[in-house]
Structure 1
């Protein structure tokens, strides 16, 4: 059995569901994975969610479901790492350890539907609509549940997740195998470097050295795990940062482009329209009316 990336949920070996509160200036900022399923409610904070081949924004009020062994990081925005900031991040998470139930219990007839759903549901998802609302009501009070009450509340959550079309799939590519610990650490170092340095000029040789690989080996390694080339991924990171600034700052489009690492304004406009389906100016105008 392969080792997982160095991160483990502090728990007993026989705990089916664990409720965890993450509170502080920013969320845990290292790419990691674990065998437990994860349901995370962002109560405060914002940033970039990276999970598998998906990269997108997370905001206050979002609810995400991650199946087992999905490499992920909720990377808080840079402002949350400022030692002088009074901004806070807060997340409530349920971790489900289905292995703790044992194979026998999942084979019980009443669990057949859940077992089938677990087999079919792979990757990461954003939970939407009435399902999200009903789950958040349960999660709000989850810390107060004990024993059978906690089990029943967890089963209500799982039942809600299976109903309707409330899960918006985020991944195009779901990995068929888990990372080894070495691969996980390497990918974590690469992602951390890209996210922290994306506003600067980053060359392929530079990031390959972070991974301690040749350029050719790094390109294969990165494409296999993200479904994107390094350049495609870096551009996507920069576009996401630009989207945030277009909404939250009064900087000019040119200032935003150069701040996010684009050295050419016309290229920024083309890349942005390709990614978002509209120009930066159109995007900002639309967002100002929402």
Structure 2
């Protein structure tokens, strides 16, 4: 029986190869989801965590990401963006490519052979950098105003830029071999939302297992299979990324940041930080300064 993906539909017609979408709101769509369209996203405003497969990292203004088809992902904005009294705002530009619309016959045209080969061998989430990013930035500013053949030609030009592999940094090492079922997707979405929103508190394994409606043993297997990490490893990584942001944006001391991010022990925070970042919190802050 065919498995259902996490329910998320790109608002478009059934015969649209490329869609340009502007996401403007307090915070980005915060549910773990996947869709058959390829997605290219530029972060214009907003900060937070990007979670895709076994990758957990920060996103900030100016970042550009490419997701191949059916890659479960979520842009989780930082807590302050959910505060309705704040002036924080998020803005993103996205292109969605629906290769299924082109049909098998068109993709088999000789001129499309390079694109087809790239599509077949490219899987995962990538950070787009360098010259490729610069060229795409110019195209993104124009594509929203293009229609018909002009939009398709510009979209194909962007896809051609993305084939420059040295400017495509693969972020996730764990590539899902199957789609999430709808139940799995909803469960993982609830768990991730809870961890990312409550990470500064003392979260127990039993709490997140209850959120997933699983026993602790079943939850540990479920979580490790889908993230490549144990719950403790993932939670620690979330807290370290949050501490990096505070080390960069605040004048709080290292010990204050450690406790604010959920670490109960300063020496453990220092060890965990060095393990994840390859340097101590003080070295990280000094480098920024």
> Are residue 147 (structure 1) and residue 148 (structure 2) matched?
yes
TM-aligned CA deviation for residue 163 of structure 1: 2.3
Q: Which residue number in structure 1 is paired with residue 13 of structure 2?
A: 12
TM-score (normalised: structure 2): 0.98
Hey, what's the Cα distance between the residues in 2 that align with 1:8 and 1:54? 23
Q: Aligned partners of 2:143, 2:94: CA distance in 1, in Å?
A: 10
Instruction: Report what 2:208 is aligned to.
Output: 207
| TM-score, normalised by the number of residues in structure 1 | 0.98
Question: Is 1:104 the counterpart of 2:105 in the alignment?
Answer: yes
Q: For residues 163-178 of structure 1, what are the structure 2 equivalents within 5 Å?
A: 163-178=164-179
**What is residue 90 of structure 1 aligned with on the other side?**
91
Residues 53-111 of structure 1 show CA distances to partners (whole Å, capped at 9, x for unaligned) of 11000010111000011111111111111111112111000000001111111111111
1:127 counterpart residue number: 128
Shift, 1:164, TM fit? 4.7
1:228 counterpart = 2:237: no
Q: Secondary structure at the match of 1:153?
A: helix
Structure 2 equivalent of residue 194 of structure 1: 195
Give the match for residue 50 of structure 1. Answer: 51
1:162 counterpart SS class: coil
* Unaligned segments of structure 2, at least 5 residues: none
Q: Structure 1, residues 137-157: CA drift from partner, whole Å, max 9, x if none?
A: 000111111000010000000
Shift, 1:4, TM fit: 1.3
The count of corresponding residues between Structure 1 and Structure 2 is 288
Residue equivalent to 1:116: 117
CA distance in 2, matches of 1:39, 1:53: 19
1:255 lines up with 2:260 in the alignment: no
SS at match of 2:264: coil
SS of residue paired to 1:263: coil
Query: Which SS does the other structure have where 1:254 is aligned?
Result: helix
The 1-side partners of 2:49 and 2:35 are apart by 20
State how far apart, in whole Å, the 2-side matches of 1:111 and 1:24 are: 37
CA distance in 1, matches of 2:108, 2:230: 42
Shift of 1:45: 1.0
Which one is further off, 77-86 or 226-235? 77-86
* RMSD, aligned CA: 0.7
The answer for the alignment partner of 1:243 in structure 2 is 244
Off by >3 Å, runs of 4+ in structure 1:
none
The answer to whether the aligner puts 1:137 opposite 2:166 as a matched pair is: no
CA distance, structure 2, for counterparts of residue 232 and residue 8 of structure 1: 32
Secondary structure of 2:61's match? coil
3-state SS in 1 of match to 2:267: helix
SS at match of 1:228: coil
Structure 2 distance, partners of 1:109, 1:2, is 33
2:185 corresponds to: 184
